[in-house]
Amino acid sequence: PTPPSTNQRRMVVVRAEAINPEIRKNEDKVVDSVIVSELSKPLTAYCRCWRSGTFPLCDGGHVKHNKATGDNVGPLLLKKQ
């Protein structure tokens, strides 16, 4: 018999459910554009958890989401160099 896997840190079940609870639900599809030459800061974090109060920017809300659900999502970092 196969021993239980030990290199899987957690088991999270994700069902076929929406992942965006409330951001711009009046839009068919929430797409944002960044003109990278217009970035003002050396580092800008963009949200991929759909929990940010400053969406499309990351406000750190992924931390609470990950803690509440066992998830492991985080932002996309745009770096000027």
Binding site for ligand FES (CB under 6 A): 47-49, 51-52, 58-62, 74-75
* Residues at the site binding its own copies, with contacts judged by CB under 8 A: 7-10, 12-21, 24-37, 39, 46-50, 56, 62, 65-66, 68-81
Min separation Cβ 73 and ligand FES, Å? 6
- Catalytic sites, residue numbers: 29
Distance CA 2, CA 10 (A): 18
Q: Cα 53–25–12 angle (5° rounding)?
A: 70
| Residues paired with residue 51 on neighbouring β-strands, in sequence order | none
- Which residue shows structure tokens 């109060």? 53
Q: What is the smallest separation between the CB atom of 54 and its own copies, expressed in angstroms?
A: 14
